[in-house]
Amino acid sequence: MAFSTLPNIGMGTFRLKGNDAREAVKSALSLGYRHIDTAQMYDNEAEVGDGITSSGIPRREIFLTTKIWHDQLHASDLINSLHDSLARLKTDHVDLTLIHWPSPDDEVPMEEYLGALRDAQREGLTDHIGISNFTCAQMDKAVEILGHGTIFTNQVEVHPFLANRKVVEHAQKLGMTVTGYMPLAVGKVMEDETLQRIAQTHNASPAQIAIAWVASRGVVPIPSSTRPTHQKANLDALNIELSEDEIRLIDELDRGERIADPGFAPAWD
C-alpha cells in the first residue's frame, strides 16, 4: 500500500551518525513516528535501515524518504545510487526520493535528472518523487518537465527566523506539500523571548511552539532529535493550537536567517 499523503510530522536524521542514528530511529518509531527522513549525504542510511528493521514496525507502515546527492544526478548515476541507497536501507523501495539540491550551475540539465527520477519511480524503486531546496523558478521548471501532480514535495528550510514564505506559498499553489527541515533552527528557537512567552501560555517548550507554528502553515516539520523525551515532545507539538495573535507574533520573527546555505546553493528567492 502506497501512502497517498505525507505523514504530518517526520523524524529528521541529519547529523545523526552510527549508533545514535540507529537508536534515534528505533525510538522515534516506538513513540509513534511513521515518517523517517534520511539522505545519501547524511552517511547514515545503513544505520537508519537498522533502526527500522529492529523497530518491529512493519516496513509498509513506515514512510521512508531519502535524497540523491548532487554528484549523482547524471541519469545512470542516479538510478545506480538509488539502488545503493536501497541496499543500505535494507528495503526494496523507498516511499519518497528527493533531488537533494538542484544541480549546481545547472551542470546536469534538470530534464536529465528529473527524467531519471521518474524512471526510478516507474521501476518501483520509489513510490513518490520530489525535490529539495528548489526556488520558485526551479519549481516551475520542474512542473513543466514532469507535469502537475507528479512532484510530491519540495523540502526546504522553514523555522520562525526563516519563514521562507514565497517558496512555501508557491509550492502549495503548485499542489506540492512543503516539508520543512530545521524547524527548530538548530536549537535557536529555545532562546527566543517571544517563543518562550507563548510557550508558557501553552505549558509547552519554545521548540514545541516552533513546530506547532510550522504545522499551522500546512508544512510538514521534520525535527531531528536523539532523545526520546524530545522526540515525544516534538510529536505532541502537533496538538498545540496557536491563536491568530500568537501566529502573527511568530510571523514577525522572520529575519531571513538561513542556516543551510552551501556555496553550491541556488540563488534564493
CATH number, residue 59: 3.20.20.100
Give the span between the Cα atoms of 105 and 18, in whole angstroms. Answer: 33
Residue 194 lies in a domain: no
Give the span between the Cα atoms of 58 and 128, in whole angstroms. Answer: 19
Residue 244 lies in a domain: no
Residue 137 lies in a domain: yes
Confidence at residue 1, expressed as pLDDT on a 0 to 100 scale: 57
Q: 129, 118 in Cβ contact below 8 A?
A: yes
Pairing relation of β-strands 94-99 and 151-157?
unpaired
Residue 86 lies in a domain: yes
Confidence at residue 31, expressed as pLDDT on a 0 to 100 scale: 98
Which has the closest alpha carbon to 63: 89, 102, 40, 100?
89
CB atoms within 10 A of CB 111: 14
Q: Which domain holds residue 92?
A: 11-184+218-223
How many structural domains is the chain composed of?
1
| SS percent in the chain: helix, strand, coil, step 5 | 50, 15, 35
Q: What percent of the chain has pLDDT over 90?
A: 99
Residue 193 lies in a domain: no
- Point out the residues of the chain with pLDDT beneath 50: none
Confidence at residue 51, expressed as pLDDT on a 0 to 100 scale: 98
Residue 46 lies in a domain: yes
Residue 43 lies in a domain: yes
Confidence at residue 186, expressed as pLDDT on a 0 to 100 scale: 96
Q: In the chain, which ranges are continuous DSSP H helix?
A: 18-31, 45-55, 75-89, 110-122, 136-146, 165-173, 193-201, 206-216, 228-236, 244-251
Backbone angles phi, psi at 66, to 5 degrees: -130, 170
Residue 3 lies in a domain: no
Confidence at residue 2, expressed as pLDDT on a 0 to 100 scale: 78
Task: Please give the positions annotated as active site.
Answer: 42
Q: Could you give the C-alpha distances from 256 to 136, 139, 164, in angstroms and in order?
A: 16, 20, 8
